Amino acid sequence: MPSKPAISYSHVSKNFGSLKAVDDVSLDIAEGEFLAIVGGSGSGKTTLLRLANRLIEADGGTITVEGEDVQTVDPVALRRRIGYVFQSGGLFPHLSVADNIGITPKLLGVPATDVTARVDELLELVQLDRTAHRDRLPEALSGGQRQRVGVARALAARPRIVLMDEPFGALDPLTRDALGEDFRELHRKLGLTTVMITHDMTEAILLADRIAVMRSGQLLAQGTPAELSTSSDSYVLELLRTPRRQVERLNTLLPQSGAA
Residue 12 domain-assigned (yes or no): yes
Total residue count of the chain as it appears in this document? 260
Residue 129 domain-assigned (yes or no): yes
pLDDT tens-digit readout, 19-75: 999 999 999 999 999 999 999 889 999 999 999 999 999 999 999 999 999 999 999
What DSSP character marks residue 136? -
Burial of 16 (0-12, 13-18, 19+ CB in 10 A): exposed
Q: What CATH code is carried by the domain that includes residue 215? A: 3.40.50.300
pLDDT tens-digit readout, 191-228: 999 999 998 899 999 999 999 999 999 999 999 999 99
The structural domain count of the chain equals 1
As a whole number, the mean pLDDT across the chain is 92
Residue spans of alpha helices (H) in the chain: 45-52, 75-81, 97-107, 112-125, 130-133, 143-155, 173-190, 201-207, 225-228, 234-253
Q: Quickly count: other Cβ atoms within 10 Å of residue 192's Cβ.
A: 21
- What distance in Å separates the CA atoms of residue 241 and residue 238, rounded to the nearest whole number? 5
**Percent with pLDDT over 70 in the chain:** 97
- What distance in Å separates the CA atoms of residue 111 and residue 35, rounded to the nearest whole number? 34
Residue 85's nearest CA partner among 178, 9, 159 is 159
Task: For helices 112-125 and 97-107, give the axis angle rounded to 10 degrees.
Answer: 130
What integer is the mean pLDDT of 88-100? 92
Residue 244 domain-assigned (yes or no): yes
Cβ-based neighbours of 184, under 8 Å, separated by 6 or more:
34, 207
**Percent with pLDDT over 90 in the chain:** 79
Residue 258 domain-assigned (yes or no): no
* pTM for this predicted structure: 0.91
Beta bridge partners of 22: 14
Check if the beta carbon of residue 122 is closer than 8 Å to that of residue 154. no
Residue 2 domain-assigned (yes or no): no
Residue 162 domain-assigned (yes or no): yes
pLDDT for 62 equals 98
Of the given ranges (10-14, 17-21, 127-131, 245-249), which has the lowest mean pLDDT? Answer: 245-249
Residue 155 domain-assigned (yes or no): yes
What is the pLDDT confidence band of residue 1, given thresholds at 50, 70 and 90? Answer: very low
Half-sphere CA count of 59, side-chain side, radius 13 A: 14
- Give the domain range for residue 21: 7-253
- What distance in Å separates the CA atoms of residue 150 and residue 147, rounded to the nearest whole number? 5
